Structures are given as C-alpha cells and as structure tokens.
Structure 1
Amino acid sequence: MQSTLDFPDLLRLIDERSAAFRAAVAAAPSLDAQVPTCPDWTLFDLARHLGEGRRAWAATVAAGPDATAKATPVGAPAAPRERAALVAWLADSTRQLLDALRDAGPDRGCWTWWGASQSPRTCGAVARHQLQEIAVHTYDAQLTAGAPEPLPDDVALDGVEDFLSTCCATTHAWPHEPATVEYYLTEGSSWRVWLSADGARVARLATPDHAPDASARASARDLVLAFYGRVPLDALELDGDRRVFDRLVAWEPG
C-alpha cells in the first residue's frame, strides 16, 4: 500500500508531533501525573518510553538492511528526571531519529517487527509508523496535561491505512470463522479486511459494497484513536456482528 504522505512530509510531521509532545511535557503540572490512557505509566514513564524508543529506532535504521533485530543504542544517556533536561533529551532523541531516516532515505531496507504484514520493511515504512506512534503518545501526553488536541487531519488519514496494513494485516491464521470487516471514513475513504485461515488481508475499496460481517464508520481521528485503544469502540458507528470486533481486539497473532 502506498502512503498518502511522501517521505519529506513524514519527517516534517514527526518533528512537529515530537515538538507538541515536548510542549505537553513542559506544560503538565507534574511529571509524576498518571497517564489516563496508559494507566501503568506516569508522564515521566511515557516520556522515557518515547525518547528511548526513538533512539532505538534511530540505531536500527542506521544499522542498515542486514540487521536481524532491533538495535540497542550504545552509551545512550538515561532520561533525566529534571524537566528542562528531560525536554532537551527528548529533542535530541527526535533529532537522532530524523537524522538516521534522512541519511538512509525511504527505500533502503530496515529491520522491522512487522515482517508478516502488508507494510514493506523499508525506512519509509518505519518513518510512517513512527509518525503514528509519536502522534498517539502526543495525544496521551496532552491528555495528561489537561489539554488534549485532535490528531492532525493528515496524520490521522494516513494513520488509518498504516494501522491496517502494519498492525492488522498478517499471514498468521485467524482463529475464528472467516469474516469480513469494512471501515468507512466520514472523509470518504474505505477499506475491507478479510479474516481467514490465511490471515488478515487488507485492501482499499473503490466503492464500499456494504455487505461485510461487521463495519465501523468514523472520522479518521476517532478511528486511529480507537485502533490504539485510546477511545472505546462504542465511540464509533458500528454495524453487523459486534463479536468480530471483540475478537479482533483480543487477537494477538504470533
């Protein structure tokens, strides 16, 4: 599947969402505040996760197409507890990721955890998915700071297809009876997911046929947040067999 965002836009938006994350960390009343959407984490835990994760992906991209596992940065400083230093550490984490992606370019191969999906194992696909991880965690941080903002339209629109092709599509067998699911965006795009013993296959629909076993309709912003468990499924307009959605949420192909 082709991204609706080109590589320079992905990098620009990674930078923008990372800056918004840092602003939320700087504005929050306390780094010890619990993150409502990640209840086992404080805001400091979330910031440490985001920064360490971006440094690890920077190292993985830099390791090149022959890497066989996610890289561990060597000599990376721990996330500092003091707020201003933490914000600066986060900015450096973003810089490392962006530098690595720019140096590699979108077409170079890269180790990824999604080998069984429909997303390619390239640095461009890494940038695409990194944008979504950063955007969703920025929402988490903003919610913790008391001022959540909707996902930007261009991020959310690309995020629906990224999630379906990267996190949903798989060659691992669906353990239930075959089913079809369709997702309709209020912005106009739609996708079908086929679930069977062959796994989960995803495709855009030119014209929805309105005959799936289950369907969901929502804005791209709400659908991405539902995909990542930030809003409940009931926030979407659901139709058909609700059990299919419950099984999809519980499914952990491996």
Structure 2
Amino acid sequence: MEKTLEYADLLRLMDDRATAFQAVVAAAPSLDVRVPTCPEWTLLDLVQHLVEGRYRWAATVAAGPAEGPAAVTVPEVPQDRGDVPAWFAASVRELLDALREAGPDRECWTWWGASQSPRTSGAVARHQLQQLAVHTYDAQVAVGAPQPLPAEVALDGVDEFLTTCCATTGAWPHKPAIVDYHATEGRSWRVWLSADGARVARHPGEGSEPAGVAAWGTADELVKFFYGRITAEQLRVEGDPGIFDQLIAWEPEV
C-alpha cells in the first residue's frame, strides 16, 4: 500500500481540520441550520456528535487494550451559543493530548477488529482525521460554503477507508467481484470480494485481471463517495455499478 501519513502529520492535520470546523461554527448564522449531508442533524447536533466522539476516543486511547470503548462523561452543551466553539475545541485538545501521550503504537480497543488496519492509537488517529475532515465538509455545506478536503488528507483518506472500513474477513454474500478505485492524483486501489471477505491492495497495474466495476475521481471525490456525500453518478464509472450498491448495503458478519 502507499506509505501513509506520519503520526505527527496526522495530529497536525487533525488540529487543522478542527480549526476549520470551529471557524464554521463560530461564523454560522445559527446553530439550528440543517446539515444537508447529515439530514437528521442541525449544525449543533453535528458539533455535539464530534464533541462526544473526541472525548470517547481520548478515553479509549488512554485506556489501552480493552474489550470495549472506555466509558466517559462529556461536558454538557453550553447554554450560550458563543461558548460552543470553545466547547468543541476543548474536546479536540483532549483527544490530541491523549494521542500525543500514547504515541502511534499503543494498542487499544477499536471497532474495526477484522479489518486490515491495526488496533492501535496510530490507526485511531488516522481514522479520526477522516472523521474531522468529512464533518468539516458537512458543516461547510450547512452554511453554503463547501470546500474540498485538503489533498494530503483526501489521498490518505481513500486508503484509510478501504483498509479500515471495507477490508474484512466477513464473507461476501454475492458473486465474487473485483472493484478498482483510481484517484486522478495518480494512485489506485483494488478490492477483491469473495467468500473470504474483502481484501485491499494497491492496484496491480497493466495486464491485471479486469475489474467488475471501476471508479475514477479525485481523492476528495472518492472519499466523499465512500462516506455517502456524493453518488457514483458523480464519478466516472465503468463496469457494473450494481456492485457499488451491494457494497454499500453489505453488513458483513465476522
């Protein structure tokens, strides 16, 4: 697989995306605006989701190896909307401090036990960067000012999603298939789907077995497709797009 971001870069970029998210919240005309990409939520709901997640993952990383996520008490939502950005910022500091203290190799509970990602603080940092990046985009959409994910975040995000959220040992319940993803920045990935699960690797290159379906887009577009922010129709697709529908609906048992 392509070399991933260094741990220090993950923390730096998490802080950067958190700062961008905080700026959107501070400037929003109202925290009651709806978030079109998370249609059940207002902007305040989105902030609360992130705050709860930052504290929960900070405690989970600090706890080390465990059978489940750490229990945590989250500070209550401020009554004054002017205090909400600082409330969010404090949760990010809590997570970043826990990650700095742990370093990249501390084992800890994660929900992706059967994937190709390790169960470590480094993998948590990598996934949480993507959570902050995608939800920053959501907040920007809510106020009418969407921006692409930063290039280095998006490129790492394609690889991170596939190895963490797609790779699994759970049996693929459909006809075996090969799915290719091509980022216009020059990186490509292949997913093999079979009774053995989903396996991810860098694309083997010219002369390899043809894919059942392949998608091309910028890394930003691919990440947004993975997280349901755009549809396959907004990418260049060749092959059977029904395989994407099967992938989206798949809930593997492991």
Task: Give the TM-score normalised by the residue count of structure 2.
Answer: 0.96
Identify which range, 4-13 or 210-219, moves more after superposition.
210-219
> Any conservation in 2 of the 1:56–1:70 contact (CA below 8 Å)?
yes
Query: Is 1:226 matched with 2:225?
Result: yes
Three-state SS of the structure 2 residue aligned to 1:173 is coil
The match for 1:136 among 126, 134, 137 is 134
Counterparts of 1:125 and 1:136, CA distance in 2: 17
Letter in 1 for 2:93: R
Match of 2:201 in 1: 203
Counterparts of 2:232 and 2:53, CA distance in 1: 28
Counterparts of 2:248 and 2:234, CA distance in 1: 15
Deviations 1:150-205 (A, max 9, x none): 10000000000000000000000101010000111111111110000110000012
Letter in 2 for 1:226: F
Three-state SS of the structure 2 residue aligned to 1:33 is coil
Deviation of the 1:115 alpha carbon: 0.3
Match of 1:213 in 2: 212
Deviations 1:102-138 (A, max 9, x none): 0000011111000010000010000000000010000
Three-state SS of the structure 2 residue aligned to 1:35 is coil
State the aligned residue count.
252
**Which runs of 5 or more residues in structure 2 are unaligned?**
none
Distance 1:210 1:147, change over 3 A: farther
The match for 2:147 among 140, 149, 164 is 149
**Which runs of 5 or more residues in structure 1 are unaligned?**
none
Deviations 1:73-97 (A, max 9, x none): 13x3112242221111101000000
Match of 1:7 in 2: 7
Write the mapping of 1:14-33 to structure 2, written as runs, cut at 5 A.
14-33=14-33
Query: Is 1:237 matched with 2:236?
Result: yes
Three-state SS of the structure 2 residue aligned to 1:87 is helix
> Any conservation in 1 of the 2:77–2:84 contact (CA below 8 Å)?
yes
Counterparts of 2:193 and 2:76, CA distance in 1: 42
Distance 1:242 1:117, change over 3 A: same
Task: Give the TM-score normalised by the residue count of structure 1.
Answer: 0.96
Counterparts of 1:79 and 1:116, CA distance in 2: 35
